[in-house]
Amino acid sequence: MQSWIPFLPEQASTVAARVDGLYFYLVGLTLFFTVLIVSVIIFFVVKYRRRAPFEVPRPIAGSIKLETLWSVIPFLIAMSIFVWGASVYFIQYRMPNEAGMTEIYVVGKQWMWKFQHTTGQREINELHVPVGRKVKLTMTTEDVIHSLYFPAFRTKADVVPGRYTNLWFEATKPGRYHIFCAEYCGTNHSGMIGTVVVLSQTDFDNWLSGNANQQSPVAAGQELFTTTLGCASCHNADGSGGRGPALTGLFGKSVQLSGGSTVTADEAYIRESIINPQAQLVMGYQPIMPTFKGQLSEEQLLHLVAYIKSLSPAQSSGLETTAPARSNDPQPGTTTPGASSMDSQRSNPVSVTPPSARQPGNNNSNTAAPSRGNQNRR
């Protein structure tokens, strides 16, 4: 489906109209001044042309009025672009603090997009989302920088090696829309494309249940934590701590480091603590944790992060006061019923998923292999 302008993608998210409004304002401004300046040039070329071979033009003195005018008007125009642009930017890139957002994990890889839902469903180069619900993406990449781009949603964000970036959108109409990679990433960059399928809530629920019986990220993370990697020998199976710091209730809290500084336990902190445990050593603990660098795929890291997040179910105490306005905090400061019900949804599969229900292809056991060897495909 096309919009009324042939080259413009459809508007299919809550921010699309705002982005387009700003875009047309800029195009309009540019057109207006292009026409104005070119006409004035032509007019002056004709009006002030040399009429006689030795003509001397009249001397021109300055004009305060004119100079003020051509300073103030462009300043006001530039500020209008700034204020409008900043407001759209903040709407688009500040994570809404809402309970019950649909969370999706994204891993970019030369040359495909891998998505995983909190309920476990995996997708490659295709993403199913419900209409009218805010969707939060937690994203990273296994290799180089890519950029996840939804033209119809008018939003995109880079995925950066070793870092988590977040993106959110709310689709406004069901349909199938493009997914692009918007950052040149090698030979098949142009083929790193996909489709986002926006479904009504009912259809989405049907799709989810039709693709069930895949291990959820939390369950996969727990398996890594307790069995595969043996994290539990220091942090305890329930995360209550031991030789290593307690992980229960950790997420979103402020952590005192041995250097005296503090850090908020967000996704990035957890990731860093797994990859490079000595970088941010918790006060009062010995630097005994081995690094897991090169042993885990980005998806496994996301699973561990999801599991450790699930150990902080209520997220009620102090999150808002210790971590104000952090864009990558999930549902901060929520004591609403929606939050706890969602968290229980997320952590329930941990206890109820029998090993037999797990996919045979979901191979988390070869952790000694270098990271390239054990990427989970579906």
* Candidates 81-89, 91-99, 182-190, 324-332; binding stretch for ligand CUA (CB under 6 A): 182-190
What does each C-alpha distance from 290 to 17, 133, 371 come to in angstroms? 49, 41, 16
- Take residue 99 and report the two structure tokens written for it: 């309970």
Q: Does 114 bind ligand CUA (CB under 6 A)?
A: no
Whichever of 145 and 357 has its CB closer to ligand CUA, that residue is 145
Q: Does 24 bind ligand CUA (CB under 6 A)?
A: no
* Candidates 150-158, 184-192, 273-281, 340-348; binding stretch for ligand CUA (CB under 6 A): 184-192
Of 99, 137, 185, 274, the one binding ligand CUA by CB under 6 A: 185
* Candidates 37-45, 176-184, 274-282, 367-375; binding stretch for ligand CUA (CB under 6 A): 176-184
Q: What is the dihedral of CA 265, 269, 274, 278, to 10 degrees?
A: -100
Of 23, 33, 70, 184, the one binding ligand CUA by CB under 6 A: 184
Minimum CB distance to ligand CUA, residue 182 (Å): 7
> Residues with Cβ < 8 Å from 183, sequence gap 6 or more?
145, 146, 147, 158, 189
Q: What is the dihedral of CA 111, 330, 91, 144, to 10 degrees?
A: -20
Whichever of 16 and 192 has its CB closer to ligand CUA, that residue is 192
Of 136, 146, 253, 309, the one binding ligand CUA by CB under 6 A: 146
Residue with tokens 């180069």: 125
Q: Does 192 bind ligand CUA (CB under 6 A)?
A: yes
Whichever of 181 and 274 has its CB closer to ligand CUA, that residue is 181
The DSSP secondary structure of 94-127, one letter per residue, reads: SPP--TTPEEEEEEEETTEEEEEETTS-EEESEE
Minimum CB distance to ligand CUA, residue 145 (Å): 8
Of 18, 134, 178, 189, the one binding ligand CUA by CB under 6 A: 189
Residues 149-168 touching ligand CUA, rule: CB under 6 A, are none
Whichever of 74 and 186 has its CB closer to ligand CUA, that residue is 186
Whichever of 185 and 308 has its CB closer to ligand CUA, that residue is 185
Size of the site for ligand CUA (CB under 6 A): 8
> Residues with Cβ < 8 Å from 311, sequence gap 6 or more?
238, 239, 247, 248, 249, 250, 251
Which is it for the CA torsion 92, 95, 98, 102, positive or negative?
positive
Q: Are strands 165-170 and 134-141 parallel, antiparallel or unpaired?
A: antiparallel
Whichever of 191 and 242 has its CB closer to ligand CUA, that residue is 191
- Packing angle, helices 267-275 and 298-310, rounded to 10: 120
Question: In this structure, are residues 113 and 106 in contact, taking their beta carbons and an 8 Å threshold?
Answer: yes
Which residues are at the interface with ligand CUA (CB under 6 A)?
111, 146, 181, 183-185, 189, 192
